[in-house]
Structure 1
Amino acid sequence: MAGETVIRVRGLVNAFGEQVVHDGLDLEVKRGEILGVVGGSGTGKSVLMRSIIGLQRPVSGEVSVFGESIIGKDENDALDVRKRWGVLFQGGALFSTLTVAENTQVPLREFYPHLSTELLDEIAAYKVVMTGLPADAGPKYPAELSGGMRKRAGLARALALDPELLFLDEPTAGLDPIGASAFDDLTKSLQRTLGLTVFLITHDLDSLYAICDRVAVLADKKVIAVGTIDELLALDHPWIQEYFRGPRGRAAASTDERMALDAHGAGGGAGMGD
């Protein structure tokens, strides 16, 4: 249901020894949106994601996904909710000794151990092609792939269980601008086609402008603001202003504006031709 809260975080506290990373962090992610998560180095973007998916146990706070509490949940009790999300970790995090197809099959083997080899191969082949990889990428090992192809292979694995919720941790990091733009387009296309909710950690301003419905800003150990880029630009927090109005922010905004103008011009031309 549109507008439904898929992820709810309340009063989250994360600390490593005496270093407090999050202190009373709140966040909600709505069904069907692409939420970008940004913040300076050390603000705990990946720690937040790991807390949501149960890989990081917070000091305190509440985390629920699809209405189910995640913190303290027994691994076996969490199986049903874990099946409903997929995760692309930084760099793809592929198993180097497994082929792309075998990597894609890992979640399937974990949750559905009785599937036949033929069905596993068929599902993996479908997911590989779905992410824009050539069909012959399946038998290849990660070392034989480019950085962009490894990201797509990791995405194929994240989509193996047909999730409703997709976590992407810096998916365009290390990619050239063309590759990064192509991955953004793929993310948006999959989100629309599959009805995904996407939790996107990124430093890439182009990604924020191109595909994110809202952006959450981590600073001061909390989420200090959530909204559209226009809404964030209206705030006077110094980090937000520096991030979005600095040289890189202005370049990304100019590109976005040019794309909008080009699309408007194309539409106008078609109308005049009719």
Structure 2
Amino acid sequence: MIQIVNLHKMFGEHKVLTGINLTIPEGKTCVILGGSGSGKTVLMKHMIGLLKPDEGQVIVDGEDLVPLGDARLEQIRRKFGMVFQAAALFDSMTVYENVAFPLREHRKELSEEQIRALVRSKLELMSLPPSVEAKFPADLSGGMRKRVGLARAVVMEPKIVLYDEPTTGLDPITTDSVDEMILAAQARLKVTSVVISHDIASAFNVGDYIAFLSKGLIIEFGPPEQLRSSEHPIVKNFLQTWFGKN
């Protein structure tokens, strides 16, 4: 579903990505794991066409994004749903209005009745009761806000869902809830999921594959058990530091 080929990106004199190669199979969850400043967010922005590389290809569903103009990129981006770190809901809108927003922006042909049916089906998919529709984001717990954010991300029925640090700042119980949400969305919707994270426990919970990013390169890629047994010194140190605390 996503193929990154020899991707390079510099900002000024600073090399951020230095030859990324990555293949993410359709219908699977890939976690991009790495410490702060490793290039995770820059890589994600290339996947959705928000940044152009200095060199390399970003192939999404068979089409290279790099040479595309703005109009075609906008069409390609509709294949993506995005779940942000803080859910990024509109505070002045109810839950219902937040989830309906992408439909009203991009699906002008839908009637209000059709919009209502789609919003309710996605909230139900996220195990949110009808009573939540009239609430505002400030009335919700952190875990519920994440679920509403995911409902909004999938209401356009994308092929790919990107999660930007979805468990940052959450307590362990809410983190487990978010992990379950990611797994449920992947299983029920058959989407391809890409999770940007530095949370090792979450990565091992949700990832079919983990790509470990360090200093602009993917230095290890494979299923979680492959990472656990990695002999790469940077990966070993990263995992040992975490396992030593837990």
- Please tell me whether the aligned partners of residues 161 and 193 of structure 2 are also in contact (alpha carbons under 8 angstroms): yes
Match of 1:249 in 2: 243
- Any residues of structure 2 matched to 1:71-220 within 5 Å, and which? 71-220=66-215
Please give the TM-score of this superposition, normalised by the length of structure 2: 0.92
* Structure 1 residue matching 2:179: 3-state secondary structure: helix
Q: Which residue type is aligned with residue 122 of structure 2?
A: K
Displacement of 1:64 in angstroms is: 1.0
Q: Deviations over 1:38-96 (max 9, x none)?
A: 11100111111111101122222210100111124223223443222211122111222
- Please tell me whether the aligned partners of residues 33 and 200 of structure 2 are also in contact (alpha carbons under 8 angstroms): no
Displacement of 1:159 in angstroms is: 0.6
Higher Cα radius of gyration: 1
- Please tell me whether the aligned partners of residues 31 and 209 of structure 2 are also in contact (alpha carbons under 8 angstroms): yes
State the 4+ residue runs in structure 1 displaced beyond 6 angstroms: none
Q: Deviations over 1:192-246 (max 9, x none)?
A: 1221211111222222222211100101211111012322233332221122223
- Please tell me whether the aligned partners of residues 2 and 25 of structure 2 are also in contact (alpha carbons under 8 angstroms): yes
Q: Which residue type is aligned with residue 243 of structure 2?
A: G
Q: Which residue type is aligned with residue 134 of structure 2?
A: P
- RMSD of aligned C-alpha atoms? 1.8
Using CA pairs below 8 Å that are at least 6 residues apart, which structure has the higher relative contact order?
A: 2
CA distance in 1, matches of 2:19, 2:134: 46
Q: Deviations over 1:168-197 (max 9, x none)?
A: 111122221111112211211221122121
Percent identity between the aligned chains? 37
Match of 1:35 in 2: 30
Alpha carbons of structure 1 residues 213 and 250: separation in structure 2 relative to 1, 3 Å? farther
- Please tell me whether the aligned partners of residues 40 and 196 of structure 2 are also in contact (alpha carbons under 8 angstroms): yes
Match of 1:267 in 2: none
Could you tell me which runs of 5 or more consecutive residues in structure 1 were left unpaired when the two chains were aligned: 1-5, 253-274
Across the two proteins, how many residue pairs are aligned to each other?
A: 246
CA distance in 2, matches of 1:239, 1:80: 39
CA distance in 2, matches of 1:237, 1:83: 37
